[in-house]
Amino acid sequence: MSDSNDPQTNDDTFVMSGNVTSVAVEAIGTPSIIFWCEDSDGVSHQLNGSLDSEAVSRLAMLQLLRDALTGHRDVSIRYTVADSGLLWFYQVRMY
């Protein structure tokens, strides 16, 4: 698997669909976006994204997550799984 913080291709990623239930921005240490998504089975997942790199796209994803949360819209998330089990997201699509 490639570096979970920097996937070079979509080959090392997974896709999840569901509803955003909560969004947070953490400024302690490395600034990051954290959000929780409930999948079609009703299981809640925490997904993480760094605000250190690709700031413009990350802020756009934060806006999209906020809109999905307030509008109760379905989303599709492309993510990787780190060795620690932490989920890092790279793409958010709202329906």
Long-range CB contact pairs, 48-56, < 8 A, 24+? 48/86, 48/87, 48/88, 48/89, 49/88, 49/89, 49/90, 50/5, 50/88, 51/25, 53/6
pLDDT score of 2 more than 50: no
| Amino acid 1: pLDDT | 40
The secondary element (H helix, E strand) that includes residue 20 is strand 14-26
Q: For the segment 34-71, what is each residue's pLDDT rounded down to a tens digit? A: 999 999 899 999 999 888 766 677 788 888 999 999 99
Architecture (CATH level 2) of domain 12-94:
Beta Barrel (2.40)
Locus of tokens 């997550």: 65
